Amino acid sequence: MRVRFAFVPLLLLFLAGLALGDVITLNDGTRLEGRVVPQGEKYWIKLTSGETKIVLKSDVASITKGAASAAPTVAPTPAAPTVSAPAAASPSPTVASAAMSFAETKSKANLVDVPLAAVGLWQSFIDNNPASADLPAAKAELEQWKKLDADHAEKINGKWVGGEERKKLLQRVRDLLKEADSMQGEQTLKAVSKLEEAVRIYPNNWEANFELGYFYLAKGGNAKYDQAIKSLEQAAKLRPNSAATLTDLAIAYNFRQHYEQSVLTAYKAAQLEDSKEITQNLVNSIAQAPPGMRENNTKVRPIMEEATLLAHKHGVIDGRQSWIYVRPHGKEKAGDVGDDEEGGGRPGVIGNGSGFVVSADGYILTNRHVAKEKGVTFMCRFADKTEKTAEVVAIDDDADVALLKIKTDKPLPFLQFAKDDEPSPGAECSALGFPVGSVMGYSMQVTSGTVSSVNPPEPYHVTLTCKITHGNSGGPLVDHYGNVIGVVSAGLTAYTETYGKALSAGQVRKFLEKNRDKYKTTFDAGKAGEKLDTEAIYKKASPATVCIILIRGEKDAKPAAE
């Protein structure tokens, strides 16, 4: 019996800059990690060691796409409840804990590409400098940036534009795109003029940049290739996961004899979309590169192996066929002017997870895969919209769990763990968190279900029927008394059914016991009390549940091919 597993640490799905290997598990329990490519009745695997392996599909028990290699294969044994611990050690450094002066914070804030990134910087300054003489000025700066964030302001041609002004601008761009589309064919030059105007007044629009680049590439001739590259590069920055943009950009690079960039960009497109058209362009980009590059370039040679397999799969004959200009389709084509892509967030915000407060003095539990990202500010947003920046205290090397700390001048509402290390199968439960934050406006969601099974040998002991998705990672799973029985961590798909996966209370207790030298607090077990319905559970648990927004203060300007 073959069951397709989709263990996906939820945050990792929207961190566009990370490229994790697939994990394939065989029927005998063997785990192989690397790049997995379907090939008829077999899978071709390029292992992380550089070796290649072919296995029959009938020998495969499960495939995990983009899984972290650090995930445990055997879950840790639950430990006893934690008791009072010694004085706290210094937390692991993050951007939030870096001491910056008022002037340095203002300088960095003025360089951000999204208001929320500046909010994180100023909140960090305020949290770390409660006695500073600059505190009133810092709070004023924070409120200004919060206002820009609330108005969905964008930096457009060097100016922050939000509120009604931005709405009117976006409507003008929509009108221009509609006019350009109606002119395609018979009035091509006028259509291009409309697209150029749209890009000029709103360079942040992916569709206008793509359409302009596509026209320059497909119809503009030699004189327009540089302009095609400029427009398509901008489109690739705005939507890094657009396979159509990348494959067309690869063609433009090849026409301008940027052969290595062409191959790398075409390969990234093929990783995003497995189609004959994109495979043909990849094969063309390799075939038309200089022989010396194909033989000696350490970046190109490994790609040639995968390109050969993809060519066989799609019936691509060779690299002497015509280039295929690709237009977006399906989900890639969806979206409106000024809308964020699902899971992508605005520039500077690289994703969000969830977490929950476990002590009145501000300790927060979440997943390891939420807290492990380097060079970011972790901004915790509560249900009442108040915000605090957090520092990493401990990250587990075995289980997918981490402990953060926020500074607070008053006791915070917190959640307690159930006294039992493992819940009972069939137990009622509710999951709280902030799924797809950039789409849902970072609003809290609660879903109810049951514990469908408990299996300690698995990395996540608890399987649940509550509906969860990207952004729920790290949120609390509570019983009908409002006590925490698990930490929502991943999703599993078996055939057509999808289940949530959670760390158990026992797994978390073992983590806390192992790291008790890094914090000073007591985590007591909660009491059974009165049975609560879902509405009452939400009222009890939501004040202690937080959205953890990951903010990179300075925009990553790496080329699309990297």
Which residues touch 540 (CB under 8 Å, ≥6 apart)?
482, 532
In 215-348, the DSSP E strands lie at none
Shared domain check, 405 and 549: yes
The long-range contacts involving 408-413, CB below 8 angstroms and separated by at least 24 positions, are 408/361, 408/362, 409/130, 411/360, 411/361, 412/357, 412/359, 412/360, 412/361, 412/362, 412/544, 413/357, 413/360, 413/543, 413/544
Determine, yes or no, domain membership for 197: no
Q: What is the CATH number of the domain that holds 136?
A: 2.40.10.120
Point out the domain boundary residue: 333, 354, 382.
333
Determine, yes or no, domain membership for 508: yes
CB-CB contact of 423 with 429 (8 Å): yes
In degrees rounded to 5, what are phi and psi of residue 314?
-100, 5
Alpha-carbon distance of 562 to 300, in angstroms, equals 13
Which residues touch 195 (CB under 8 Å, ≥6 apart)?
176, 177, 180, 208, 211, 212, 215
Shared domain check, 392 and 358: yes
3-state SS of 321-386?
CCCCCCCCCHHHHCCCCCCCCCCCCCCCEEEEEEEEECCCCCEEEECHHHHCCCCCEEEEECCCCC
Residue 525 CB coordination number (10 Å): 15
What confidence score (pLDDT) does residue 11 get? 32
- How distant is the alpha carbon of residue 232 from its chain centre? 23
Shared domain check, 406 and 542: yes
Which residues touch 78 (CB under 8 Å, ≥6 apart)?
421, 422, 456, 504, 505, 506, 507, 509, 510
Report if pTM > 0.75: no
In 92-182, the DSSP E strands lie at 154-156, 159-161
Determine, yes or no, domain membership for 214: no
What confidence score (pLDDT) does residue 5 get? 34
Shared domain check, 259 and 128: no
DSSP 12: G
What confidence score (pLDDT) does residue 277 get? 94
Determine, yes or no, domain membership for 183: no
Q: Helix crossing, 243-255 with 259-272: angle to 10°?
A: 160
Helix/strand/coil for 531: coil
Q: What is the CATH number of the domain that holds 33?
A: 2.30.30.100
Integer angstrom CA distances of residue 243 from 75, 235, 239, 432, 554: 38, 11, 9, 34, 25
What sign does the dihedral 70-74-77-81 (CA atoms) show? Answer: positive
Determine, yes or no, domain membership for 74: yes
Point out the domain boundary residue: 311, 333, 355.
333
Residue with tokens 């409507």: 171
DSSP 422: S
What digits encode the pLDDT tens for the residues 182-221? 886 667 788 899 999 999 999 999 999 999 999 999 887 7
Tell me the pairing of strands 462-464 and 402-406. unpaired
CB-CB contact of 405 with 388 (8 Å): no
CB-CB contact of 492 with 499 (8 Å): yes
Which residues touch 306 (CB under 8 Å, ≥6 apart)?
35, 37, 46, 267, 270
Determine, yes or no, domain membership for 235: no
- How distant is the alpha carbon of residue 509 from its chain centre? 28
What confidence score (pLDDT) does residue 83 get? 31
Shared domain check, 131 and 4: yes
How many domains, the chain? 3
Per this entry, what is the length of the chain?
562
What number of CA atoms fall less than 13 Å from residue 29's CA on the CB side? 4
Point out the domain boundary residue: 333, 361, 385.
333
What sign does the dihedral 204-210-211-212 (CA atoms) show? Answer: positive
Shared domain check, 14 and 29: no
Shared domain check, 467 and 546: yes
DSSP 29: S
Determine, yes or no, domain membership for 195: no
Alpha-carbon distance of 433 to 546, in angstroms, equals 7
Alpha-carbon distance of 362 to 411, in angstroms, equals 8
Shared domain check, 13 and 38: no
Alpha-carbon distance of 499 to 453, in angstroms, equals 10
Shared domain check, 376 and 275: no
pLDDT tens string, the chain, 562 residues long: the values are: 333 333 333 333 223 333 346 777 777 667 787 777 776 667 777 776 666 677 777 777 777 765 433 333 333 333 333 333 333 333 333 333 446 789 999 998 888 888 888 888 898 899 888 889 999 999 999 999 999 988 989 899 999 999 999 999 999 999 999 999 888 666 778 889 999 999 999 999 999 999 999 999 988 778 889 999 999 999 999 888 899 999 999 999 999 999 999 999 999 999 999 899 999 999 999 999 999 998 888 889 889 988 998 999 999 988 888 999 999 876 566 554 544 333 334 446 777 899 999 999 999 999 999 998 887 889 899 988 888 999 999 999 888 999 999 988 889 999 999 989 999 899 999 999 988 766 566 778 888 899 989 888 888 999 988 888 778 889 999 998 999 999 998 877 665 566 789 999 999 999 999 998 898 888 888 888 888 898 999 999 999 999 998 887 554 433 333 3
What residues pair up with 34 in beta bridges, in sequence order? Answer: 22, 47
Shared domain check, 413 and 549: yes
Tokens of 345: 């967030």
What is the arrangement of strands in the sheet containing 31-39, beginning at the earlier edge strand? Answer: 52-56, 42-47, 31-39, 22-26, 60-64
What confidence score (pLDDT) does residue 320 get? 81
Shared domain check, 456 and 363: yes
Shared domain check, 70 and 40: no
Which residue range is the domain that position 301 belongs to? 221-227+240-333
Determine, yes or no, domain membership for 95: yes
CB-CB contact of 311 with 285 (8 Å): no
